[in-house]
């Protein structure tokens, strides 16, 4: 079995993954309580790491490919993989918080939400709203008998119709005992292409949507991906399992509070 092999999960494994993803949702909820002007992303990282460990789990990102922190915090023009640092967030910023946990049973959760810091401009709020909507539009395509390309085609069509662009360099992914498994799940593409979607498939769907052009650059810190034009980007992610023919969303935003988007 090579890394291109899609590992379908049993119902029992899916329940383990629901547990890991519920903890991710609770962690995003805990972090959300602290998002306000003046807080640093390093403080948010510490809150997340402590919360995850207090719940008998491990922050999946810490040490993953050498990533130095427990969450990714990507501010404004940073699209994904921002490293928590000492810079205080300020009124009008947006910050994507991406979180992963591995629980005792050995399965991973992965989910991300882009938060407003204080009051944010209407233009940026609209970017967040459209990106979150596109996540659910993509999830609706994650149904038995469809193809992986149907997900990205729907996300791309919707976001481009609103005047935004879709990042090409990064994609969603299969998930299970490892955070990144086959298949790749692009946020762009053509209907009817890619692997067939079957019951037991577990994938992370994660639109990365730019207000300006689709082009990104990889920063010299080795991780941060930012928009080339330095316009804002948004990122929302859910882990889903295909069960009884349709997507069962395993992660959750239900614990998130204090956001107006
Ligand atoms: N969770 C990210 C994703 O959505 C990957 C983070 S990579 C890490 O796929 F190194 F930061 F962990
Ligand atoms: Co993620
Ligand atoms: Co992911």
Q: How many CB atoms lie within 10 A of CB 229?
A: 16
CA dihedral in degrees (42, 103, 13, 72; nearest 10)? 10
Question: Does residue 261 carry a pLDDT above 50?
Answer: no
Question: Ligand 1: distance of its center to the CA of 8 in Å?
Answer: 21
Question: Ligand 3: distance of its center to the CA of 163 in Å?
Answer: 24
Decide the pairing of beta strands 216-218 and 208-210: unpaired
Q: Please list, in sequence order, all residues whose beta carbon lies within 8 angstroms of the beta carbon of residue 60, skipping any fewer than 6 positions away.
A: 100, 101, 102, 108, 109, 110, 179
Of all protein residues, the one whose alpha carbon is nearest to atom 9 of ligand 1 is: 172
Cα→Cα distances 147→91, 142, 143, 196, Å: 41, 8, 8, 4
Tokens standing for 163?
A: 């005047």
Task: Assign 202 a pLDDT band (cuts: 50, 70, 90).
Answer: very high
CATH of the domain spanning 11-249: 3.90.230.10
Q: Where are the alpha helices (DSSP H) in 55-101?
A: none
Helix or strand holding residue 125 (H, E): helix 122-140
Question: Ligand 3: distance of its center to the CA of 98 in Å?
Answer: 8
List pLDDT tens digits, range 125-158.
Answer: 999 999 999 999 999 999 999 999 999 999 999 9
Q: What region, left, alpha or beta, does residue 16 occupy, with left being phi > 0 and alpha being psi -120 to 50 degrees?
A: alpha
Mean pLDDT of 22-48: 98
Q: Where are the domains of the chain?
A: 11-249
Q: Would you state the pLDDT for residue 169?
A: 98
List pLDDT tens digits, range 63-108.
Answer: 999 999 999 999 999 999 999 999 999 999 999 999 999 999 999 9
C-beta separation of 9 from 242 below 8 A:
no
Atom nearest to 67 CA in ligand 1: 10
Q: Please list, in sequence order, all residues whose beta carbon lies within 8 angstroms of the beta carbon of residue 182, skipping any fewer than 6 positions away.
A: 3, 4, 5, 6, 7, 173, 174
The number of angstroms, rounded, from the C-alpha of 103 to the middle of its chain's C-alpha atoms is: 18
235: Cβ below 6 Å to ligand 1?
no
Task: Assign 1 a pLDDT band (cuts: 50, 70, 90).
Answer: confident
Question: Does residue 258 carry a pLDDT above 80?
Answer: no
The number of angstroms, rounded, from the C-alpha of 122 to the middle of its chain's C-alpha atoms is: 23
């Amino acid at each position: 079995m090579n890394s291109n092999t899609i590992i379908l999960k049993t119902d029992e494994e899916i329940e383990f993954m629901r547990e890991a993803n519920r903890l991710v949702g609770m962690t995003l909820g805990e972090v959300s309580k602290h998002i306000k002007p003046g807080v640093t992303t390093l403080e948010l990282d510490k809150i997340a790491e402590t919360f995850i460990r207090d719940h008998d789990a491990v922050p999946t990102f810490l040490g993953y490919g050498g990533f130095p922190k427990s969450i990714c915090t990507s501010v404004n023009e940073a699209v994904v993989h921002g490293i928590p640092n000492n810079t205080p967030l300020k009124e009008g910023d947006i910050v994507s918080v991406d979180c992963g946990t591995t629980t005792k049973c050995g399965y991973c959760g992965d989910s991300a939400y882009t938060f407003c810091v204080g009051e944010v401009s209407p233009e940026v709020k609209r970017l967040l709203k459209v990106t979150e909507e596109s996540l659910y539009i993509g999830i609706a395509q994650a149904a038995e008998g469809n193809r992986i390309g149907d997900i990205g085609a729907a996300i791309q069509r919707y976001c481009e119709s609103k005047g935004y662009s879709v990042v090409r360099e990064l994609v969603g992914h299969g998930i299970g005992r490892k955070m990144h498994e086959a298949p790749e799940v692009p946020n762009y593409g053509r209907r009817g292409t890619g692997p067939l979607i079957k019951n037991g498939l577990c994938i992370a769907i994660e639109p990365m949507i730019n207000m300006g052009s689709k082009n990104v650059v990889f920063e010299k810190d080795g991780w941060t991906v930012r928009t080339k034009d330095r316009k804002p980007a948004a990122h929302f992610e859910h882990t889903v399992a295909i069960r009884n023919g349709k997507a069962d969303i395993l992660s959750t935003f239900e614990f998130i509070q204090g956001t107006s988007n």
